[in-house]
Amino acid sequence: MLVLVINSGSSSLKYQVRDVAQGSVLTEGLIERIGVGNGGGGDGEIEGPRDHAEALELVDAAIHRELGDQEVAAVGHRVVHGGERFAEPVLIDNEITRAIERLNPLAPLHNPANVLGIRAITRKWPQMPQVAVFDTAFHRTLPEHAWRYAVPEELYTNHGIRRYGFHGTSHEYVGRRAAALLEIPEAEFDAVIAHLGNGASVTAIQGGHSVDTSMGFTPLEGLVMGTRSGDLDPSILVFLGRAGWTPEDVDSMLNRDSGLKGLAGNNDMRSVVEASEAGDAKASMALAVASYRLAKYIGGYHVAVGGAKALVFTAGIGENSHQFRSLVAGRLGALGIELDAGLNAARSREPRVISTASSAIPVLVVPTDEERAIAEATAAVVSG
Ligand code: AMP
């Protein structure tokens, strides 16, 4: 079955056509600058559509060029927010589309764009089965003591203010692959999964289910990220408000100017590691803050799951930065965790163990593949 995976942003549309049985990518691309006029243009990019419908025409043309008369059987959408309703991928109809739209206030940058993508497909291919795969769904199993904020009840009942968690598709996929690699049945798999990309979150998995995760009401909570602050004292926001900062100023500072960028002046882990190795004290401090914060979460989640059977690294930094993995593991000696320097430094695209034989629990690197997970979930829903 060929599945078209769509990640629809407000001004971009990322797509991939996957052969689900083969696990292969047949073609992929990125349409940018939707509705914002023409831009510079890079290799392989198609630019300048007026809206998502026009962007979809470009995708359709590109797919036909690449695949000839092979037919796409279903479309899988990455949808950021599934609120409290969606715990599983679902077949999309008008009611589901409206339900996703009703969640717009919880993800104002993402859900409206996801809905634009869904509606564009509905208009172009009315008979095409479409499936929504939610970033939050895997975390619907969080117990209430993990998702509650200690604030007055009405914030939850009137505004939906609670912890939702994100990156669920990746955490679930990586957890499943890690369990398979270790030959532990999923239902018995207790682990800590660290998804470390430009956005970063860590999840506690117990019996194959998410029981805690570091992102909360929005993807801002938790770890130090490329440009996001992660955890901080909420009073800082009040303080800044009194000092004349607008909500937009604060939002932009916390989401775009903080994290590695705020600490080291650069949001790219590779550059920060290089700067640190060249003696840049700010870069070294940024790495120390980020690795310390993550190590605290890992320790906490080890407790939350009653003793993890594995620690798993994934995403851009987790898969590629042996330096950052080593910094984190270096703070986990109290858990008996010990990396094998050679295995940690080796480069590979395969899921693998990077800890020593005497490490108290295995440490793994498992490449994530959200598009693959979305394609598989879509095929599963469509074929019932
Ligand atoms: P992602 O959002 O998953 O694409 O991850 C982006 C992050 O991964 C950036 O901070 C990159 O610097 C980091 N990254 C990608 N490749 C490498 C690498 N080879 N070494 C260190 N960090 C890397």
For this structure, is 135 an active site residue? yes
* Tally: H helices and E strands in the chain: 15, 13
* Mean predicted confidence (pLDDT) in 178-196: 98
The number of the ligand 1 atom at minimal distance from the alpha carbon of 271 is 12
Whole-number Å distance, alpha carbon 293 to ligand 1 midpoint, is 18
Q: Which of 170, 193, 198, 215 to mutate to test the pocket of ligand 1 (most atoms within 8 A of CB)?
A: 198
SS3 of residue 338 by DSSP = coil
Residue pLDDT, tens place only, 222-276: 999 999 999 999 999 999 999 999 999 999 999 999 999 999 999 999 999 999 9
Distance of CA 37 to the CA centre of its chain: 29
Residue 4 contacts residue 78 (beta carbons within 8 Å):
no
Range(s) within the chain of domains with CATH label 3.30.420.40 = 2-134, 184-370
Whole-model pTM: value is 0.95
Look at residue 169 and tell me whether its pLDDT is greater than 90. Answer: yes
Domain spanning 2-134: which superfamily? ATPase, nucleotide binding domain (3.30.420.40)
Residue 69, pLDDT score: 87
* Mean predicted confidence (pLDDT) in 271-288: 98
320 C-beta closer than 6 A to ligand 1: yes
The number of the ligand 1 atom at minimal distance from the alpha carbon of 368 is 3
316 C-beta closer than 6 A to ligand 1: yes
Percent of the chain with pLDDT over 70: 97
Whole-number Å distance, alpha carbon 270 to ligand 1 midpoint, is 6
- CATH topology for 184-370? Nucleotidyltransferase; domain 5 (3.30.420)
The C-alpha angle with vertex 9 and arms to 38 and 369, in degrees rounded to 5, equals 120
Whole-number Å distance, alpha carbon 365 to ligand 1 midpoint, is 14
The number of the ligand 1 atom at minimal distance from the alpha carbon of 195 is 3
Which pLDDT band holds residue 39 (cuts at 50, 70, 90)? very low
274 C-beta closer than 6 A to ligand 1: no
The Cα–Cα gap between 42 and 140 comes to: 39
Amino acid at 24: S
For the chain, the helix, strand and coil percentages under 3-state DSSP, each to the nearest 5: 45, 20, 40
